[in-house]
Structure formats: structure tokens, C-alpha cells
Structure 1
């Protein structure tokens, strides 16, 4: 049986992983330093914890469910205790991309991250419809990268990823560099920023007299239909009026060089700020 040492097991992310790993073929050793995290594991999942040294003794896989800013420090602390061939799984590309993992060519580094449940889905169960993050009831896609290690190690990393992010639909293999383009580049720098602007635009309509509920309903409904056409979820074209509004709106809202956020140095600078 493959043994997994799960660090940060009692945190917000760690608890999700701990729950999903229950009943899997993996023998999980839970490590948590905070009293609150230990209590959460015990009260919610009936799980006990062990020391880092106990968990690492003979472990095949180490999962670091800790914040990006702590990955480098935690990994450096654990590295001398890891046997050759150990797989270290990180849940975000930021720290690996920034070079915060120890220089140990005899270790396998695997990076995986959820895409989160898509806006356009077939969920009908109430719990799944309200599972916006994923990993509980709603189906989602995932991305994974074998940063270093033997090619055959990818299968094990992907198997674990499908368990911790379950239920999973598509599993995409990418590189760490491509994952960094997706996050923070695409998902946070672009998508989160534009969604924040959209919320500010809705608030501005409210400030100018539109009832808040009406503005929210109008915006979210249009996000649905416009998004379905733009992302080819359904066949369709925009009206001439809408196309003219886009033609006018883009240069007002966006700088001409906005795609520079995807340049390697911009991605590196963004990740440096995160980590």
C-alpha cells in the first residue's frame, strides 16, 4: 500500500484532502501543527495526527497542503528526511515555479491544481450546485504537471490528484510553466481582476439609482448568455448593437498592451509577490 504523509492535514485545504483520501487505497499519515487543526480533524473526520518524523518514516508520497508562502520553508525542513524516490506533491504551481523546492534530483516533484466546477455544467443535486470550489460534490476538471522525476511516476501522481480533487472529469497534463500561465496569469490576474471590475460596474449602476437586486440579476443573467456564446457553449452571434458596444468598450476598459501580463517576467514577478 502506498503511504502518504499529508502535511497541513487539518487546514482548510488539508481537511478537504483528508476527507477525500478516506477509503482510498492509500495509507494516509496526518500531520498538523495547530491545535485548531488537530481538533478539526478529530471532530469532523475522527482522525488523529502524528509527528512529522513518524509520518515521514518510510513514506512514499508527501503532500504539502500548506500556504504558498510556507512551501519553501516547510520543504527545506523536510528535505533531509526524505528518502530517494519520494514523491512530493504541491497543490499550486507558484512555489515550484519560483524555485522554492529543494534541489534534490532524486526526488519526484508533482504539481496539481483544480480547475474548479465549471459554470456550464449538468449538476442537478442541490449540494453539487452549491459546491463552487469543488472536491465535495460537484464534478470538476484538474491540471497536473510532473516537474521532475521518472515518467512512470506521473500515473501515481495523477491517481492521487483524482482522489484528492474528486469527483474529477477531465485530467489535463501540463507543464509547471503552463500552469503558472493559468494561475496566477489567466485565472487571477485576468479573470479575477475583470470580475472585480464587473462587480464595481454593478455597484456603480446601483449608486446611480438601479435597485441592487435588479442590477445583480441583470448582470449575472447576461454573464450566462454572453459567456455561453463567447466560450462556444452554444452556437450564436451577438447583435450589431452588442458588437458595437464591445468595439467601443474594449479600448476604454483595457490597455493596448494588456496581454503583457502573460510575458515570462510578468508571470515571474506576480509569483514572486504571491510567494
Structure 2
């Protein structure tokens, strides 16, 4: 299995994947429906990008398209795909929502990046500044084989390791586990809490603390406290004062029922709001 179509190659994510795929051993056809994006792709990467694709003889199709377009585009191309084709999506939302075409002879594979850890140490400056991944910094990835023969997991994981390179570890998950990771864990919980932290910095600024000072102080404490909380360093614990502050603050900052975001009905509502967004 070697022939791969990257659909949406001219988009932000497609360009990221294309840069890595261009260095791989896979035979890649770069496809983009938008003429301006095709031109920009060819100018930047020096590779041919087509708007007219023959899907009937490929081994895999990577859908580098927005979440709310995955179901529609997968349905459009499915009749052209031969049995055994691996359809790769970059997020679990559409598969978890049941938006993939009803084709039992196709394999559905999901691959999503963890993004570089704040505890990475990268000697190369470009890699050190790569917070998203795919531009030099190591990152783990999470993959799931929704349907298809077992050997297609190894194929999908290898292909994903190429387009998300450099990859430090491949985690295998179920589709439901991937839906828990995103949107629930990474967006509903983490992104929301980080947004609250930034709002707190702005509140400190309103109360007389210079923004840059508050930002530097907060980011430093996030790094140090994360190292303790997530076990990156051993033998170090939060101070008694910090633990007391956490105990007192939780009821003020958090709804006691916040864990309900992990319940299946809440997950479904969240994912539908993503996949059905205009």
C-alpha cells in the first residue's frame, strides 16, 4: 500500500501534512478544490496540486478538511473508492457522531496529534518554537482503527507517523477514547481552564498589575506547578499553603458537577455542535 491522496492539501492543516509527506516514501497526490490555495501550495512547496482526482486506484485518502465537512466529503468520494481503501480523518468528532458513510468494505482510521509537550527539550531552535507539531518538535499521536482489518492499523499508524513527524510515540485508542480526549479533555476542560486563566490575568491587570508582569508570573507558575502535578519531576510537592489555596478555591471556581462533561450524552451534544457547525 503506497498510493495516498491528501484531500484539502492547500488548507492550513493540509500544508503541514504535505511538507512531511513530501519527504516520505509514499506516492502522494496532493488535491485541493480551491484554485487560489492550489496556486499557493505549488508556489510554497514546489509540488503539483490538482483539483481533479481519481479516487478509484488509491490505497488511502487523508481528509485534511474541517470537522463539519468530513461527513459530507466522505459521502461524496465513497462511491469512487475501491474496497479496502483506508479513509483517514484527523479528528474523532465525525466518526464518533456516526457521520462516516455506511461502507463496511472501507477502513476508517483516525489519527490526531498530542502536540509537543511543554516538557520537551529541543536543541534545534525551530523545533523548540514548534508548539503545534509537524515542524520539527517531537510529539506523541493517538490513533484508532474504527473499522477494517487489523493490518490497516499498522499502515495507518505508519502513515500518520510520517505526516505528523517527528513522532515519539503512537498511542492506540478506541474512537470513544479519542472523543473523550478531544473535545472533552483538551477543549471542554483544558482550553476552557486556560481561557479562565487568561481572564484572571486580565482581571489582575484591571487591579493594577501590569499585564506582562502578570503573564510572566503566571506562565512560569504553570510550568513549575505542571511539573509537580503531572509527575514530571519526582520528590517535589506543592507547599501546604498552595494546597490550602486549591482546597478553598475549588468550590468558588468550579461547578461541583463539572465531571458531567464526560458523560456520554454531554459528549454527543458537544460533538454534534462541532460537526454540525456552519
Shift of 1:117: 0.2
Secondary structure of residue in 2 paired with 1:170: strand
Within 2, Cα distance between the matches of 1:225 and 1:210? 21
Q: Is the 8 A contact 2:4 2:29 kept in 1?
A: yes
| TM-score normalized with structure 1 length | 0.98
Give the match for residue 41 of structure 1: 41
Shift of 1:109: 0.4
1:228 aligns to 2:241 (yes or no): no
Within 2, Cα distance between the matches of 1:25 and 1:147? 25
1:166 aligns to 2:179 (yes or no): no
Q: What is the aligned-residue RMSD (CA, Å)?
A: 1.0
Kindly report which structure 2 residues correspond to 1:147-166, keeping only aligned pairs within 5 A, or say none.
147-166=146-165
113-122 or 32-41, which deviates more: 32-41
Gaps of 5+ in 1: none
Give the match for residue 13 of structure 2: 13
Q: 1:77 to 1:32 in 2, by over 3 A?
A: same
Gaps of 5+ in 2: none
Give the match for residue 244 of structure 1: 244
Give the match for residue 201 of structure 1: 200
1:113 aligns to 2:112 (yes or no): yes
Within 2, Cα distance between the matches of 1:53 and 1:12? 20
Runs of 4+ that moved beyond 4 A: none
Q: For residues 143-168 of structure 1, give each alpha carbon's deviation from its aligned partner in whole angstroms, at most 9, with x where no partner exists.
A: 00000000111110000010000000
Kindly report which structure 2 residues correspond to 1:176-191, keeping only aligned pairs within 5 A, or say none.
176-191=175-190
| TM-score normalized with structure 2 length | 0.97
Shift of 1:100: 0.8
Give the match for residue 92 of structure 1: 91
Shift of 1:40: 1.8
Within 1, Cα distance between the matches of 2:165 and 2:105? 29
Q: Is the 8 A contact 2:34 2:51 kept in 1?
A: no
Instruction: Figure out how many residues of one structure are paired with residues of the other and give that number.
Output: 274
Within 1, Cα distance between the matches of 2:255 and 2:97? 27
Secondary structure of residue in 2 paired with 1:16: helix
